[in-house]
Amino acid sequence: MSRKLMSLLILGVMILSLGLAGCGQKNATKTESKVLKVGAEMTFPPFEFQEEGSKEYVGFDMDLARAIGKQMGYEVQIQNVGFDGLIPALEAGNIDIIVSGMSITEERTKKVAFSKPYYKSGLSIVVKADNATIKSFKDLEGKNIAVQIGTTGAEEAKKIKDAKVREYNSNSEAYMELKAGGVDAVVNDLPVNEYYLAKSGDKNAKLLGDIMNAEEYGMAMTKKNTELTEKVNAALDELKKNGEYDKIHMKWFGKKAQ
C-alpha cells in the first residue's frame, strides 16, 4: 500500500469517527429528559408517608417537591430511601435531591448543599400518658429512648447522660416500641410527634411541652450541582410568592406558615 493511500485511509477514518461523535452528541441532547429524582424516607407524616393500604407517597414534602419540579419543568420521580441512606444515595448519584424533613445542620453542610430553609421545626418528646416522671429533656437522663436512625433526634438523645438510645429504621417502629413499653420515650421532630398523637389514635401517649433546638428543614443536593440548587431556590421563591407554598402548608397543617 502506498504511503499516500495509507494517509488517505487514516484521514477517512478520522473524519468518519468525528462525524459519528457529533451524531452521538446530538442524540444525547435530544433524548436528555428532565427528570428530578427525589429521595425521602417515608415514615415521617405529615411530611412524607404512605396512607394505609396505598403505595402513593404523600405529604407536605411530597407536594412541595412535585410543585418545585413542575415549576422547573422537570418530571418528578420519588424514591423511598432509608433516612441514613439518603446522603449516600445522593453522593452515588441515585437521587438528585433529598426532600425528607432533613434539618440543616453544620455536620451535613460539610457534605451536601442545602436549599434555602423551607420549614421551621424542633425536637420534642412523647411519653406514655401516665408517665409522671418525665417532663423535660433533663428528665431523660438514664432513660430508654427510641429514635430514628441518622436523625437529629438520635444525635441529641445520645448526648443525654446515661440514656440508652435505641435506633430504629423507621419512626413507626420507635412509636411502636413506646406503646409496647420497651422504651420510656420517643424523641422526634415536633410536627411529626404532634401528627402522631392527633392521627394514630394512641390515647396512651402524650406530647411534652419541652421543645429543643430550633431546626430548619432544607432540601439537600450535591455541592457540585450548583445549577440545581439555584433552580430549586428560585422555584421555592416563586411558590412562596404565588401562594402555592401556603396552599400546600394549609393542606397539611391546617394553617399558613408563620
Residues that bind ligand ARG (CB under 6 A): 40-41, 43-44, 48, 83, 100-103, 148, 151-152, 189
- For ligand ARG, the closer of residues 115 and 152 by Cβ is 152
Residue 61 C-beta: closest distance to ligand ARG, Å: 8
Tell me which DSSP letter residue 46 carries. T
Asked if 76 contacts 116 with a C-beta cutoff of 8 angstroms, the reply is no
Residue 185 C-beta: closest distance to ligand ARG, Å: 16
Cβ count near 144 (within 10 Å)? 16
Tell me how far apart the 2 most distant CA atoms of the chain are, in Å.
99
Asked if 172 contacts 192 with a C-beta cutoff of 8 angstroms, the reply is no
Q: What is the C-alpha to C-alpha distance for residues 174 and 188, in angstroms, rounded to an integer?
A: 9
- For ligand ARG, the closer of residues 69 and 218 by Cβ is 218
Residue 16 C-beta: closest distance to ligand ARG, Å: 52
Residue 113 C-beta: closest distance to ligand ARG, Å: 15
Sign of the torsion angle spanned by Cα atoms 92, 97, 103, 104: positive
- For ligand ARG, the closer of residues 131 and 152 by Cβ is 152
- For ligand ARG, the closer of residues 44 and 196 by Cβ is 44
Residue 206 C-beta: closest distance to ligand ARG, Å: 21
Query: How far, rounded to the nearest angstrom, does the alpha carbon of residue 26 sit from its chain's CA centroid?
Result: 35
The strand ranges marked E within the chain are: 35-40, 43-44, 48-49, 75-80, 97-98, 113-114, 119-128, 144-148, 164-168, 185-189, 205-207, 212-217, 220-221
Residue 83 C-beta: closest distance to ligand ARG, Å: 5
- For ligand ARG, the closer of residues 216 and 238 by Cβ is 216
Length of the chain: 258
- For ligand ARG, the closer of residues 78 and 205 by Cβ is 78
